[in-house]
Structure 1
């Protein structure tokens, strides 16, 4: 019925369109006779205009409401009966304590307690068991080492090496795309929410976007600032850029379209937060976590740009490199000096060294975590990326 009505109305629409076109034609012809040379001829002529074409008035369907009552509805759908019975008493069993296999010193536990007393921030790390298991290992083509790793899909990743080559490969070792950026060992690329890639060019001082269909377009020009490291946030897709000039450094936030909306540069006392931000990421609570080479620290600011803490390792030597966070808010950072990976809670409390030479890692430089708690680790001495399961 609906199709027949639409067909009738469409036919009538065409009829009226044709008639309107006919009237416009007649109008143009009449305007021509209004000229000075044709005025005498106009009075001796008779214009015949076609009548408006007839159309059929459609007959709309009529809705007839059905008859029903409560019993009929209850029979069709069922009903809820409230039982008149005395409720039983139940006993609440106390919760059992959850243990962790991570070892912490008395000093670290005291520091964590003091920090939780000052700031009511929930740390999820206390109830998590860390058991490191190697899942797989594979080689990345056309790179000498794996200084930075960005995971695009469960079966694809981007890896960059010391020479500045940026490659896209699948887990079977097939090369999909290769770009010569000349950037070196910094975290200068990041996968976006829609599956594309953003990377910086430190020579041209430009940030480029690679769409999923492999088109490269210019996204942001940073002027006099050299864009060292970039990160596309999971929360809203904003772009965080760590950059510097010859005398100062900062972290700038852009929206996805490339408009600048925030600059983070100094703490409340006016002191410079950054000196050489070469890796950057965002935690699940909005904290901006940056590995700063010259300050030899992980510098963490909240989403408003206020400095929260700086982590400087557990000994006299600590040089942060690749950095990432997981779904529980842990911060994972490579230590270039000690050739290891540190695991921190979201407040900067040290939890464990989860990767070192004991696990067969020689020189970890790049890390990232997927949605299934798999840790991808790139190393400086080889072009292989090793995957570990560490959250149970």
Structure 2
């Protein structure tokens, strides 16, 4: 397992605005932007915390469309650019929601409650974070939800990998990277389920006693992992081996309590915040 380390010297949280990202635009969603999933370079679906709807916004902040359901959505994934998989944490169910608003029950997850969802490309199914009284796990399903293909729960020594997994993404190297809010860590396992690395915040923040409180994460075309860190109000980037690279954005760039994040097909970073503000940054193609 990779040890904690710093790939390059981090910028101080007290420095002036980011040297790595340029703010392109921002807008205010109706409620908190807990989760964001881009469907094209100009539009993203946004879900507030524990709301009964998902909302499609364009990059001008215009509400393109709402889709309502009858339960509180914990997390969601998008496939075919228009259909959804939704987790109902309280009801212990996973649903499919069509673009037309038709709701279909896919999986009963009892006694576990479903949390974060990641839909794989090319009909390779989806993975779900599960939370139970005895700990957490990650379960992989076929595209139709009818079969489990893999469960990630313990490492090769039999120790629990997760306690309260909230978000999960996959990387181009087929790693799964998970935010665990009880461990206050980002945890990476390979496709076989072996623990690769754990990230608990930058060396600078740990030396200064700053809490690492990750909420969401995404990946980019360079296989880097981008993490929203709510306590110090930073967006951290680590490489595919879990080594800290930089603070991409900090509170000095105008973000506060960052929650949902995603990277669109043009490499722009969308950052949702507890206030409902959504900021869009260019960082891969700066200038």
Residue aligned with 1:108, SS: coil
- Structure 2 partner of 1:221: 108
Residue aligned with 2:252, SS: helix
Moved more, 270-279 or 193-202: 193-202
Q: How does 1:209-358 map to 2 (within 5 A)?
A: 209-234=96-121, 236-258=123-145, 259-314=147-202, 315=206, 316=209, 317-358=211-252
- Structure 2 partner of 1:182: 72
The answer to whether residue 28 in structure 2 is matched with residue 139 in structure 1 is yes
Give the length in aligned residue pairs: 261
The Cα of 1:163 is off from its aligned counterpart by: 4.4
Per-residue Cα deviation, 1:172-229 (whole angstroms, up to 9, x for no partner): 522512435334xx5x111114531111001211111122333221122212110011
Q: How does 1:24-103 map to 2 (within 5 A)?
A: none
1:170 and 1:335 mapped to 2: Cα distance?
23
The Cα of 1:150 is off from its aligned counterpart by: 1.5
The Cα of 1:253 is off from its aligned counterpart by: 0.2
Residue aligned with 1:237, SS: coil
Q: Which runs of 5 or more residues in structure 2 are unaligned?
A: 9-18
RMSD: 1.9
The Cα of 1:346 is off from its aligned counterpart by: 0.5
How does the TM-score come out when normalised to structure 1? 0.63
Per-residue Cα deviation, 1:95-137 (whole angstroms, up to 9, x for no partner): xxxxxxxxxxxx6249xxxxxxxxxxxxxxxxxxx73111222
Higher strand share: 2
Residue aligned with 2:54, SS: strand
- Structure 1 partner of 2:94: 207
Do 2:271 and 2:278's aligned partners in 1 also have CA atoms closer than 8 Å?
A: yes
Select 1:390's aligned residue among 278, 283, 286: 283
How does the TM-score come out when normalised to structure 2? 0.85
Do 1:193 and 1:237's aligned partners in 2 also have CA atoms closer than 8 Å?
A: no
The Cα of 1:245 is off from its aligned counterpart by: 1.1
Select 1:169's aligned residue among 38, 45, 56: 56
Higher relative contact order (CA 8 A, sep 6+): 2
Q: Which runs of 5 or more residues in structure 1 are unaligned?
A: 1-106, 111-129
Residue aligned with 1:289, SS: strand
